[in-house]
Amino acid sequence: MKTFDLKALAEKQNNEYVFGSADTGTHACYMIYGTLVPGEKGREIKPGKDHEEMLLAARGNFSVTGDFEGIIEEGSVVHLAGEQTCFLENKGASDAVYVIAGGHSEHGHQH
- Sign of CA pseudo-dihedral 7, 11, 12, 16: positive
pLDDT value at 15 more than 70: yes
The CATH homologous superfamily to which domain 36-95+102-106 belongs is: Jelly Rolls (2.60.120.10)
Which residues neighbour 46 within 8 Å (Cβ) at sequence distance 6 or greater?
Answer: 80, 83, 84, 85, 86
Please give the mean pLDDT across all residues of the chain: 93
* Confidence tier at 106 by pLDDT (50, 70, 90): confident
Distance of CA 104 to the CA centre of its chain: 15
pLDDT for 27 equals 87
The pLDDT assigned to 111 comes to 47
For the stretch 57-81, pLDDT in tens is 999 999 999 999 999 999 999 999 9
- Measured distance CA(17)–CA(80) in Å, rounded: 19
Domain boundaries, the chain: 1-31, 36-95+102-106
* Residue 110 confidence (pLDDT): 53
* Nearest C-alpha neighbor of 56 from the set 74, 35, 77: 77
